[in-house]
Structure 1
Amino acid sequence: MVAHVALASFLYVLLTIARAPKIWGIGQRPDGSNPWATVEPRISANLSNQFEWPLLFYAACLLLIQSHSEASIASLLAWTFIVGRVAHSCVQVLTTNIRLRGLVFTVNFLATLGLWVVVLQPRTAA
């Protein structure tokens, strides 16, 4: 979860930099235009995405922590989700390839569903 917070924080910093020419005039081109104008909406959209599906990732992680689950598969799924989120951010911010973005999102989607399967596994008393 900390890795995802770091990703979202990085995206906030990147968005601030991308908006600086428009908001503060810092980094404008000689003609006054924003060199980040084409990528700024994609950064903003990606940042919004960090608060949609990941909500279910956080809920699953918190339930696993609360249950003191030591399932290594849960750790693998959580890290798969994080790597997928980073890849999703790179694809969404750096390209306009919707198909690739959908494919990468599917990795995040399946990893989170896998976490929920682990959460829903019956626990046996020790």
Structure 2
Amino acid sequence: MANVNEMTIFMPVLAMMLLTMLVWATLLYRRLSNAMSNGIAADRLNTPEKVKELLPEKAMAPAYNLANLFELPVLFYVLAVYLHLSNLVDAVFVYGAWGFFAFRLLHSVVHCSYNKVMHRFAAYLLSSALLWFMLLRAVFLSV
């Protein structure tokens, strides 16, 4: 089945992992800089409710996005491993994986910057559609 290097499926996986870490770094930077510039002691940020209460939405958006990166992308990671182990990796799956990453990247950029809901939702919907396509294709090719 594979007419591409089986390992190429892991490049978009690594890109997703890097994206997750970049969002985490953005979260850390925004929270720390906001707390420090507003004189908020760390002890006051001891619960999620207090964090939401004391920090502005701009400092909270990366936290919400980071949570999103541990939802559907987890299925993407497992699917990539399955495709590799099943020798199903081909160009269609690799392009689909890169498309999934690209739309998740766009989703994160929108979410962590100007946060227009319909733009974010479009990126989310397109990434989800690609993941559905990849999953259903994997199921079809596996039976």
Q: Given the two structures, how large is their TM-score scaled by the length of structure 2?
A: 0.74
Does structure 1 retain, via aligned residues, the 8 Å contact 2:110–2:119?
yes
Correspondence for 1:17 among 14, 29, 34: 29
Matched, 1:111 2:111: no
Structure 2 partner of 1:74: 93
SS at match of 1:39: helix
- What pairs with 1:22-37 in structure 2 (closer than 5 Å)? 22-23=34-35, 25=36, 28=37, 32=38, 37=56
**Per-residue Cα deviation, 1:3-53 (whole angstroms, up to 9, x for no partner):** 000000111111111111355x2xx1xxx368x833111111000000011
Letter in 2 for 1:122: L
2:30, 2:87 → 1: CA distance?
A: 41
Q: Which moved more, 1:46-55 or 1:113-122?
A: 113-122
Moved over 3 A (4+): none
Matched, 1:46 2:70: no
Unmatched tracts of structure 2, length 5 or more: 1-12, 41-54
Distance 2:71 2:120 in 1: 15
With the length of structure 1 as denominator, give the TM-score of the two structures.
0.83
| Partner Cα distance (2:25, 2:133) in 1 | 31
Give me the whole-angstrom Cα distance separating, in 1, the residues matched to 2:61 and 2:133: 28
Say how many residue pairs are matched.
Answer: 117
Which of the residues 14, 17, 39 maps onto 1:5?
Answer: 17
**Structure 1: which 5+ residue stretches go unaligned?**
none
- The equivalent of 1:87 in structure 2 is 106
